[in-house]
Structure 1
Amino acid sequence: MATGSKKVIYAALAGNALISVTKFAAATYTGSSAMMSEGIHSLVDTGNQGLLLYGMKKASRPADDKHPFGYGVELYFWAFVVAILIFAVGAGVSLYEGIQKIVEPHPVTNPIVNYVVLGLAMIFESVAWFIALREFTSIKGKRSYMQAVQQSKDPALFTVLFEDSAALLGLVAAFIGLAAAQILGLPWLDGAASVVIGIILGGTAIFLAYETKGLLLGESASPELVANIRALVAETPNVDALNELRTMHMGPDDVLLAVSLDFKNDISVGQVEDAIYKLEQTIKARFPMVRRLFIEVQNRKHHEEMVRQETDAAATEAH
């Protein structure tokens, strides 16, 4: 995960840094509102990739007394911050620039400069987008792209993919807006393109915020991993029943697993301890992403009674 994600982020970071400088220079020279919005867009994306790299570095810190489950969730926090920045800065400023240009339209000077910059930007963005798409395709398996995004636990990867996709759509909108303003002699269409770019960024930000919010709240491991662990528990000698199995991602490759087991009544405490030890060793060997594993020994009837009590208490609080 980390290597692939970092490769995608570095590619996007390099491309956006170069593109943003070029776009701002073109916007200043020609007075294009759409080009200014695109410059802001690329600058925000550059900062976002820096934040994702920062989040990955912070998330890699080992667990300590203050954070006994590690810092993996910090990546999810910074990914959520990225979504907020796209919405607040990228979309907000683009909408403002566009509305200002619509209210007070003025012609774009030397439009050929903008077309050249947009063409180069499309090439750079396409390369970054292709790298992100190839990396994401390699891990999505047989799932659709939308299912893969919804089930992904690596926000760095799908955030960059969506940022690059939004960037390409924004470039197309800017190109159409500038061409229409020049051909039709309607300068306000340049501002309309900026508004469209703002809408694209806003939609992207809302979607990313929704996906990363779920990761922040704590999402379970993939159904495949849960099913495999269930099958492994079922094969464990002296286990009478699996009462409960809960998982939560603490990071892209960091799963917390809690299991409640009912062992056969005719075995010794030593046999229970040996079974738990062997089960822990087997789970961690087969599924390295399970970093923390807690196994509770509990009679099935007692477990069901506890679940009923918790359900009743929750229902009482709800009323």
Structure 2
Amino acid sequence: MSASGGTRAVVAALLANVGIAVTKFVAFLLTGSSSMLAESIHSVADSGNQGLLLLGGRRARRAATPRHPFGYGRERYVYAFLVSIVLFSLGGLFALYEAYHKWSHPEAITAWHWVPVAVLVVAIAMESGSFRTAIHESNLVRGGQSWVRFIRRAKAPELPVVLLEDFGALVGLVFALFGVGMTLATGDGRWDAAGTAMIGVLLVVIAVVLAVETKSLLLGEGAEAQEVAAIEQAVTAGPEVERIIHMKTLYLGPDELMVAAKVAVSACETAADVARGIDAVEARIRAAVPIARVIYLEPDIYSPAGARGGPASPGQGPVEDAER
């Protein structure tokens, strides 16, 4: 994912949510609707989340230091994980608490009846614009992947987070419109509480999905199958390397991949020949997979007699740790 595309989607979502949060809160003050309060808090949480994503992107651009020699690319994952926590606590749990409170003490909307409906309709229009921007930017990098696979496999967290937040916001607005509309139609404030509860459950589910997917990125994910295949082909494309003995890959950040491999070279080559060969292989890897910026290749002598078989791990390539 291009950083600029993710930033555009985050900024569009931030601007939309700030405006929506203000209008929703005014509507809550005028009507006392719990759905409007839950939606106000939801929009405030979303605005804060977009701020966290922007902060994470900025901090991730810091140069490497002796204490952090591989840089700060993973800060984007840390801040995306914080987004899931904020969405779960400030958004989901608050909405569920407010729903319980309003169900226990239901209140009808007795004044400014048209305000919540008008605000929700305007909010749906504004949120749709933000969602459309996120979809457009995602389509530029999604390729042929399904939306579910894109959200699960994307290494840059910003677009999946904004997509899920905007989707949740749109569905939450529909829930709020349902609760407010039924309250206005029946005079029973428990419909408002029911809409608030649906918003809370929705936000908790989205927060859990975000937390699970971001946790995987924080733990460290290897390259995708097509990237591994491209790296393997680049390594063995020339005469310098006889075979890959074993290989591991790791995303150091959304735009930086580390490749570490033990490769078999000819036993009769000089050290200078091996060094030139390694340089050529590294150049081919970077040409095939540009984000492979950190490459460690260890030359060794392959010996079939010393082969130790084992199943290949995801993102590792062939595991034939056969050296002497």
Shorter-chain TM-score tier: over 0.9
Amino acid in the other structure paired with 2:56: G
> Which whole-Å CA distance do the structure 2 matches of 1:292 and 1:307 have between them?
26
2:246 is equivalent to residue 235 of structure 1: no
- Could you say which residue in structure 1 is the equivalent of 2:128? 126
Q: Find the residue that maps to 1:213 and give its secondary structure.
A: helix
Is 1:247–1:257's contact at 8 Å kept on the other side of the alignment?
A: yes
User: For structure 1, which segment, 8-17 or 219-228, has the greater mean C-alpha deviation from structure 2 after superposition?
Assistant: 219-228
> Which whole-Å CA distance do the structure 1 matches of 2:197 and 2:31 have between them?
18
Q: CA deviation at 1:41?
A: 0.2
- Could you say which residue in structure 1 is the equivalent of 2:227? 225
Amino acid in the other structure paired with 1:263: V
> Which whole-Å CA distance do the structure 2 matches of 1:174 and 1:238 have between them?
64
- Could you say which residue in structure 2 is the equivalent of 1:178? 180
Is 1:30–1:110's contact at 8 Å kept on the other side of the alignment?
A: yes
Q: Find the residue that maps to 1:123 and give its secondary structure.
A: helix
Amino acid in the other structure paired with 2:276: D
Q: CA deviation at 1:175?
A: 0.3
2:274 is equivalent to residue 272 of structure 1: yes
- Could you say which residue in structure 2 is the equivalent of 1:83? 84
- Could you say which residue in structure 2 is the equivalent of 1:151? 153
Report matched runs for 1:56-67 at 5 Å: 56-67=57-68
2:141 is equivalent to residue 139 of structure 1: yes
- Could you say which residue in structure 1 is the equivalent of 2:48? 47
Q: CA deviation at 1:210?
A: 0.6
| Structure 1 residue runs of 4 or more that deviate by more than 6 Å after TM superposition | none
2:28 is equivalent to residue 27 of structure 1: yes
Percent of residue pairs bearing the same amino acid type = 37
Q: Report the TM-score when normalising by structure 1.
A: 0.93
Amino acid in the other structure paired with 1:207: V
Q: Find the residue that maps to 1:239 and give its secondary structure.
A: coil
Amino acid in the other structure paired with 1:71: Y
Q: CA deviation at 1:275?
A: 0.3
Q: CA deviation at 1:139?
A: 1.1
Q: CA deviation at 1:288?
A: 2.1
Gaps of 5+ in 1: 309-319
Is 1:111–1:178's contact at 8 Å kept on the other side of the alignment?
A: no
- Could you say which residue in structure 2 is the equivalent of 1:255? 257
> Which whole-Å CA distance do the structure 1 matches of 2:105 and 2:156 have between them?
44
Q: What is the CA deviation profile of residues 284-315 of structure 1, one whole-angstrom value per residue up to 9, with x for unaligned ones? A: 2332211111001223349855989xxxxxxx
2:106 is equivalent to residue 105 of structure 1: yes
User: For structure 1, which segment, 299-308 or 78-87, has the greater mean C-alpha deviation from structure 2 after superposition?
Assistant: 299-308
> Which whole-Å CA distance do the structure 2 matches of 1:304 and 1:143 have between them?
38
Amino acid in the other structure paired with 1:272: V
> Which whole-Å CA distance do the structure 2 matches of 1:111 and 1:132 have between them?
33
Q: Find the residue that maps to 2:242 and give its secondary structure.
A: strand
User: For structure 1, which segment, 259-268 or 203-212, has the greater mean C-alpha deviation from structure 2 after superposition?
Assistant: 259-268
Q: What is the CA deviation profile of residues 257-298 of structure 1, one whole-angstrom value per residue up to 9, with x for unaligned ones? A: 111101121222221111001111222233221111100122
> Which whole-Å CA distance do the structure 1 matches of 2:214 and 2:21 have between them?
26
Is 1:243–1:303's contact at 8 Å kept on the other side of the alignment?
A: no
Q: 1:186 to 1:304 in 2, by over 3 A?
A: farther
Amino acid in the other structure paired with 2:10: I
Q: CA deviation at 1:13?
A: 0.4
User: For structure 1, which segment, 176-185 or 36-45, has the greater mean C-alpha deviation from structure 2 after superposition?
Assistant: 176-185
Amino acid in the other structure paired with 1:139: V
Gaps of 5+ in 2: 312-324
User: For structure 1, which segment, 231-240 or 281-290, has the greater mean C-alpha deviation from structure 2 after superposition?
Assistant: 281-290
Q: CA deviation at 1:64?
A: 1.1
> Which whole-Å CA distance do the structure 2 matches of 1:300 and 1:111 have between them?
79
> Which whole-Å CA distance do the structure 2 matches of 1:83 and 1:291 have between them?
30
- Could you say which residue in structure 2 is the equivalent of 1:18? 19
> Which whole-Å CA distance do the structure 2 matches of 1:238 and 1:173 have between them?
62
Is 2:262–2:298's contact at 8 Å kept on the other side of the alignment?
A: yes
Q: Report the TM-score when normalising by structure 2.
A: 0.92
> Which whole-Å CA distance do the structure 1 matches of 2:28 and 2:7 have between them?
31
Q: Find the residue that maps to 1:300 and give its secondary structure.
A: coil
> Which whole-Å CA distance do the structure 2 matches of 1:193 and 1:255 have between them?
44
Q: What is the CA deviation profile of residues 104-155 of structure 1, one whole-angstrom value per residue up to 9, with x for unaligned ones? A: 0011132210011001100100000000011112211111111111110011
> Which whole-Å CA distance do the structure 1 matches of 2:113 and 2:239 have between them?
75
